[in-house]
Amino acid sequence: MTSVRKLFAFLKPYRRWAILAPLFMLIEVSMDLTQPYMIERIVDDGVSKLNLPYVLQAGGIMIVLALIGAIGGSGCTVFAVWAAMGTGADIRAAVFRKVQAFSFGNLDRFGTGQLITRLTNDVQQIQDAVQALLRIMVRAPFLMIGALIMAIITAPQLAIIPLVLMVLVLSGLILIIGRAYPMFNQVQARIDDMNTVMQENLAGVRVVKAFVRAPYEMRRFEIANNNLMNQIINVARIVTITFPMMMILMNFGVVAVLWFGGIQVIQKHMEIGQIIAFTNYLATTLFSLMMVSMLVLQMSRAAASADRIEQVLDSTSDIKDRPNANREFNPRGLVAFEHVTFSYNGSDSDPVLKDITFTAKPGQTVALLGSTGAGKSSLVHLIPRFYDVTAGRVTIDGVDVRDVAQTALRRNIGVALQEAVLFSGSVRDNIRYGRPEASDDEVVTAARIAQAHDFITALPDGYDTMLGQRGVNLSGGQKQRLAIARAVLLRPAILILDDSTSSVDVETETRIQDALGDLIRERTCFVIAQRISTVLKADKILVIDDGVVAAEGTHAELLDTSPIYRDIYDSQLGSGGAAHG
């Protein structure tokens, strides 16, 4: 519940609407309460006494009162919607902002499916609850108490009936809410599961089709979907008892009123209009009580969602700038790993990298070669501080990367990640993603270096061609070249290309390397590759094997000294078969 209170801070900017809404509701409630009284007057003073002018006059007043009530009601709705939508939008923005600040580790832990649920469904729950709260919070209790008082005033002899009924209904409701509350958390968790399945499926739908796994995916989805449905049905089963229970009690009430009231009327202690008004007030009391309980139910569901949103807002990034972090960092690009050990889950899991030590000087191209899963990507991810080392340190120009503000650090490092990700938008916007202010000339130069210019100009709108989400209308190698262009455009001190030419043919790859030549003369460049042909010309080759540097040197040196390297060389190019060797 503390999280609900915290989220209420989001309502603050909208407090004007949040105060006006209940006030307008008061108008509607007061008008509603006069209606049965007016009916009583019409029946007892007008109809019973055959006084037509009185009936017409009182009827007119009723209409005016109803109109005033309608204005109050609509005003309340409008203000409640404003307050709720504003609050929802702000919470969504806060969660989104938080996720932008997440480290890679945070993202690994939450997962996309969960974050989507929290950003959409959970925020929606809170939004709905705020809206309901602002409407019903005032309406239901006032109507309930007002109607009860009016009922007692109308016919004090029958007062015991609504009181007994209220006690019965209330005990029923407490039982129901007590059982339903814990189930809402489950509902949200099931929505998480379903979103995860859905999100994975949509992202990988081509793989699903290629491997004819649609039936399996359908089953997986069905399970998640059914789990969700069953959980909702479980809650609904409990909650739906409420309405029939109310109706039965209500009908008992009406029978009781007619029975005891009828006796009073026959004995001339009461009039018929009183009975009509009393029944009306009785119904209003009980329905308001039910509204209150529905509101409590909705609030408890929103509380579950609030907890989940708080988890996101409260989680701190494990990669944080130090208080005195260097914000003006313009290194030349001397990268050094000093006894670096790294594991993904802190010190309690097996390290992925073990005691790595090497330096890369400005102007050098360092190639990382090694079998898949050896730890090459993990290694380069430590340079822009996507993750923090578990032991040892990574320095740039002698400065520990943890002493530099992340933005200052990453401005100096151009990365083409292993999986080329494009955004929906134009080719140009994708290339200058890291530096939106870059001129068209710079974009073209970067594209030329990445050997992307020719295929881009062949696209229907050239650099203005719009790419679909994730750039589905480009080939794998074309995407990779855009990713390289994006990294190159930064003109960073350190350039990291993670397997960035794996989908590019060898000839194009050679041309990319030749074009990079000028650019990287005074920069440090890390190139990860599976193909040995990619690394032949590197100034330094690190052979990574199972998280350690198994060998280090130039191509010629390694051929002499490293059996692992020679194995790779022989298996890929054959002895003496290398075009560049």
Q: Which residues bind Mg ion (CB under 5 A)?
A: 377, 418
Question: For ligand M5T, which residue of 279, 378, 478, 501 counts as binding (CB under 6 A)?
Answer: 378
Amino acid letter at 12? K
Sites for ligand M5T among residues 477-516 (CB under 6 A): 499
Q: Quick one: which segment of 231-239, 272-280, 366-374, 531-539 binds ligand M5T (CB under 6 A)?
A: 366-374
The first and second tokens of residue 263, run together, are 């006796």
Question: Which of these ranges, 81-89, 365-373, 408-416, 552-560, lies near ligand M5T under the rule CB under 6 A?
Answer: 365-373
CB 55 within 8 Å of CB 46 = yes
User: Do residues 445 and 518 make contact, with C-beta atoms less than 8 angstroms apart?
Assistant: no
282 within 8 A of 253, measured Cβ to Cβ: yes
Are the beta carbons of 304 and 118 closer than 8 angstroms? no
In the chain, the amino acid numbered 130 is V
Q: List the single partner that 577 binds among ligand M5T, Mg ion, none, CB under 5 to 8 Å by kind.
A: none
By CB under 6 A, tell whether 103 contacts ligand M5T: no
> From Mg ion, ligand M5T, none, which one binds at residue 335 (CB under 5 to 8 Å depending on kind)?
none
d(CA 107, CA 98): 11
The full DSSP string for 525-557 is EEEEESSGGGTTT-SEEEEEETTEEEEEE-HHH
> Quick one: what does residue 374 bind among ligand M5T, Mg ion, none, with the CB cut-off 5 to 8 Å set by partner type?
ligand M5T
Residue nearest to Mg ion (CB): 377
Instruction: Report yes or no: 339 and 357 within 8 Å, Cβ to Cβ.
Output: yes
Rounded Cα distance, 158 and 256, in Å: 9
Please select the residue that binds ligand M5T; options are 100, 347, 372, 571, rule is CB under 6 A. 372
Residues 105-134 within binding reach of ligand M5T (CB under 6 A): 108
Rg (the chain; Cα; Å): 36
* Shortest reach from residue 111's CB to Mg ion, in Å: 20
Alpha carbon distances (Å) from 97 to 92, 122, 156, 410, 423: 9, 16, 59, 19, 19
Q: How far is the CB of 187 from Mg ion (least distance, A)?
A: 38
Closest of 522, 514, 498 to residue 580, by C-alpha: 514
What DSSP line would sit under 182-208, residue for residue?
HHHHHHHHHHHHHHHHHHHHHHTHHHH
Say which entry of Mg ion, ligand M5T, none residue 372 contacts (CB below 5 to 8 A, set by partner kind): ligand M5T
| CA–CA distances in Å: residue 305 to residues 184, 188, 291, 381 | 9, 7, 21, 34
Q: Which stretch binds ligand M5T (CB under 6 A): 196-204, 277-285, 368-376, 434-442?
A: 368-376
CB of 445 to ligand M5T, least distance (A): 29
Amino acid letter, 155: A
Site for ligand M5T in 301-360 (CB under 6 A): 344, 352
> Per CB under 6 A, does 373 bind ligand M5T?
yes
- Considering only residues 386 to 425 of the shown chain, the ones binding ligand M5T according to CB under 6 A are 418
Contact track, ligand M5T, 441-480, x by CB under 6 A: ----------------------------------------
Which positions from 165 through 224 interact with ligand M5T, judged by CB under 6 A?
none
Neighbours of 4 (CB within 10 A): 18
CB of 504 to ligand M5T, least distance (A): 16
Q: Which does 59 bind (CB under 5 to 8 A by kind): ligand M5T, Mg ion, none?
A: none
Positions in the binding site for ligand M5T (CB under 6 A):
108, 344, 352, 370, 372-378, 418, 499
